[in-house]
Amino acid sequence: MKHLVTSPERSELMAGIRQRGSAPELVVRSILRRQKHGFKVNAKGLPGSPDIYNPLTKRAVFVHGCFWHRHPGCLACTIPKAHRDFWLEKFRQNVDRDKRKVRQLRRLGYHVLTVWECQVKSLSKLVKLERRLDHFFGSNG
């Protein structure tokens, strides 16, 4: 028999999803430490609170989950069958907010990079990501 989760139970489950220090974010931090790039985490004072940033070189990185932030073309971008309209609106709001926060950061002079969850799960994508991160944090413009 399928267990039906009520709204308060669902809300509690969703609240337990990590927003900081997720596994993909820890992988990105590890890469940057190995590459000896200086960075800070969880920039609460910046628009969108980038997951990783360097205020001296004005670099900001968001490590996004493919499902929640709608990675274009990614297989993880499924849409739940139940309450489809709710989810479509939720995803639209997430994507719009992400774009708005990136624009705000760029207006502050930050260079912004988005790393997607699926990029740390495949060896071939991880190799490309390492090069991309090294270039992003190593370049001055």
CATH number of the domain enclosing 114: 3.40.960.10
**What pLDDT, on a 0 to 100 scale, did the predictor assign at position 141?**
46
**What pLDDT, on a 0 to 100 scale, did the predictor assign at position 118?**
95
Q: Which two tokens stand for residue 4?
A: 């039906």
66 lies in some domain = yes
Distances in Å between the alpha carbon of 130 and those of 48, 72, 126?
Answer: 23, 21, 6
26 lies in some domain = yes
Domain count, the chain: 1
Q: Would you give the DSSP letter of residue 4? A: P
10 lies in some domain = no
At residue 97 the predicted structure's pLDDT band, cuts being 50, 70 and 90, is: very high
At residue 21 the predicted structure's pLDDT band, cuts being 50, 70 and 90, is: confident
**Where is 19: in which H helix or E strand?**
none
Give CA 89 to chain center in angstroms.
Answer: 19
At residue 7 the predicted structure's pLDDT band, cuts being 50, 70 and 90, is: low
123 lies in some domain = yes
Can you tell me the distance from the alpha carbon of 53 to that of 30, in angstroms, rounded to the nearest whole number? Answer: 14
Mean pLDDT of all residues in 65-83: 95
Residues spanned by the domain of 73 = 18-135
8 lies in some domain = no
9 lies in some domain = no
Q: Would you give the DSSP letter of residue 6? A: P
82 lies in some domain = yes
Can you tell me the distance from the alpha carbon of 109 to that of 8, in angstroms, rounded to the nearest whole number? Answer: 41
120 lies in some domain = yes
Can you tell me the distance from the alpha carbon of 34 to that of 105, in angstroms, rounded to the nearest whole number? Answer: 26
